[in-house]
Amino acid sequence: MKNKTGFDHDHLLKIGDFARLAGTNLRTLRYYEELGLLCPASRSAGGFRYYRSTDVNRLGMVQRLQELGLTLEAIRELMSARERGSNGGPTIASVRHALQAQDQLLAQRQALLAGERERLANALEKLHECAACNHRPEAANNFCEPCQLDGRALPRDLSALFS
Amino acid sequence: MKNKTGFDHDHLLKIGDFARLAGTNLRTLRYYEELGLLCPASRSAGGFRYYRSTDVNRLGMVQRLQELGLTLEAIRELMSARERGSNGGPTIASVRHALQAQDQLLAQRQALLAGERERLANALEKLHECAACNHRPEAANNFCEPCQLDGRALPRDLSALFS
DNA sequence: TTGCTCCTCACGTCACGTGAGGTGGC
DNA sequence: TTGCTCCTCACGTCACGTGAGGTGGC
């Protein structure tokens, strides 16, 4: 079960298999290793990277944090769980801190999205009124006469598309 | 009220003032013009860009769509409201379509975020159990003995941070 | 006229994409 | 041994960041 380098590669995946499992590609994995974000568990004598299958979970977290707009450097810091316990691994407290920080980011983003959807709904409602009106806003003025007279501003999301 | 180029620049903003108003910077505005995403309403004889203040709404929509991960090219297409009415402006139908497409993207993202928060909550709960246990998962095995015995896998979000 | 703002190159950066040319592993 | 996978450069791209050197506008 050991190869000639003396390292047991059972249960480890070559980069291609790991990439398929994780839904990413070779270039990205090599780049993440360069940044110290996700390193292979070992290398063969010929330089082949070998990954633990459980590291797909780590990669998944990186991907989800990227969707929130964090840079890879910020992600590395957030996931590094800086304090290390007596066994060399992260402490319970540091892991909790990292998870709570992520939850805060998610909650903030949720609030933004809810606000944006509400604005879109308002814009669509107003657009329904516009459909029954014989005026159209134009880029140059951003108001139609009827709305201008009663002081109702055009919703921003309509202004964005009519100009 | 007209300058020597014969163009009325009243109510128009120079790029710096527009950038401040919109919460962006000069380079970004020039780049968006290059892509045809947001063009100044006019130029002075000396080449100065002049923007309509209402175009901050258009820029805001670009920024919100960027946060959803769309490329600038995809944003340009989504906001171009391709069909144009008899007055040269976009039609009610094309604007409605663009707004509804955005709402779908937002709804999808909301669903993802809700799922992620649920997973984080599960991980934090499990972590609370771990705090009362004298084993710690390690990168090499991803399981502690007690959990391995009763077949409960480590939540992915914990695996991500313990390995 | 002074000073602040604007202009156009043009090179740098981040997070990869995409070959080129060569070698490892079952 | 064959063929598929992997390796390391290294240049390209997207969405800007950041000067350099020069000009416009009230």
The DSSP secondary structure of A110-138, one letter per residue, reads: HHHHHHHHHHHHHHHHHHHHHHTSS----
Question: At A3, is the pLDDT very low, low, confident or very high (cuts 50, 70, 90)?
Answer: very low
User: What whole-number distance in Å separates Cα of residue B11 and Cα of residue A143?
Assistant: 15
Question: At B6, is the pLDDT very low, low, confident or very high (cuts 50, 70, 90)?
Answer: very low
- Average pLDDT of the segment spanning A42-54: 96
Calculate the angstrom distance between C1' of C13 and CA of A35: 15
User: What whole-number distance in Å separates Cα of residue A47 and Cα of residue B72?
Assistant: 39
Strand C contact at CB of residue A46, distance < 7 A: yes
Q: Would the pTM of this model clear 0.85, i.e. be above it?
A: yes
Question: At B142, is the pLDDT very low, low, confident or very high (cuts 50, 70, 90)?
Answer: confident
Strand C contact at CB of residue B9, distance < 7 A: no
Examine the pLDDT at A2 and tell me if it is beyond 70: no
> What is residue A135's predicted lDDT score, i.e. its pLDDT?
82
Examine the pLDDT at A72 and tell me if it is beyond 90: yes
Beta bridge partners of A13: A51
By the 8 A CB rule, do B142 and B159 touch? Answer: yes
Mean pLDDT of chain A: 89
Nearest chain B residue to A80, by CA? B161
* Contact yes or no for A158 and B61 at CB 8 A: no
Q: Which of A79-93, B54-68, B129-143 has the highest mean pLDDT?
A: B54-68
Strand C contact at CB of residue A105, distance < 7 A: no
Q: Which of A41, A67, A160 sits opposite B69 (nearest CB)?
A: A67
Calculate the angstrom distance between C1' of D3 and CA of A51: 24
By the 8 A CB rule, do B31 and B40 touch? Answer: no
Judging contacts by C-beta atoms under 8 Å, the chain B residues touching residue A87 are 136, 138
Nearest chain A residue to B156, by CA? A57
Tell me the pLDDT tens digit for each residue of A98-149.
999 999 999 999 999 999 999 999 999 999 988 888 888 877 777 777 777 7
> What is residue A6's predicted lDDT score, i.e. its pLDDT?
43
**Residue bearing the bigger pLDDT, A118 or A154:** A118
Least confident of A36-50, A51-65, A88-102, B78-92: B78-92
- Average pLDDT of the segment spanning A77-96: 83
Examine the pLDDT at A5 and tell me if it is beyond 60: no
By the 8 A CB rule, do A159 and B141 touch? Answer: no
Q: Which of B99, B123, B140 sits opposite A120 (nearest CB)?
A: B99
Judging contacts by C-beta atoms under 8 Å, the chain A residues touching residue B117 are 103, 106-107, 110
Question: At B8, is the pLDDT very low, low, confident or very high (cuts 50, 70, 90)?
Answer: low
